[in-house]
Structure 1
Amino acid sequence: MDWFVTEYSKRCKYKLDMGKSCVRFKKMEDIPFELIGELTAKFTAQEWIEIYENSIKK
């Protein structure tokens, strides 16, 4: 997730609004679809599930 935070700040004009398992956007036109696509390509579905489960167990 560090990669996403770094890339988001480089590519987007607004501050990242991120929770434990979500990213919030105020306007549809501000969603960086290409960046989100790159992020999802970096992990398998099982890896995403493990990241999510580890974040909610804390």
Structure 2
Amino acid sequence: MKAVVEASLAAMAQAMADGRDLNAMPLGKLRQIKTKELASGAVVHTLKLRRKALSDDGA
């Protein structure tokens, strides 16, 4: 299970590094607003998350 989660997170990180949007259902759609590289070499991504409204039964 841990290997699957780590592989999924690595794929998401690569997509963000490439500047692609992520459609991570049921979480929602992640879109990059801006990216900033710091002097230390770290990269800061500002993201916007769009989710569908939940129904009354929580589905």
TM-score range, shorter chain: under 0.3
Relative to its length, the structure with more strand (as a share) is 2
Higher relative contact order (CA 8 A, sep 6+): 1
Relative to the length of structure 2, the TM-score reads 0.24
Relative to the length of structure 1, the TM-score reads 0.25
The structure having more radius of gyration, on CA atoms, is 2
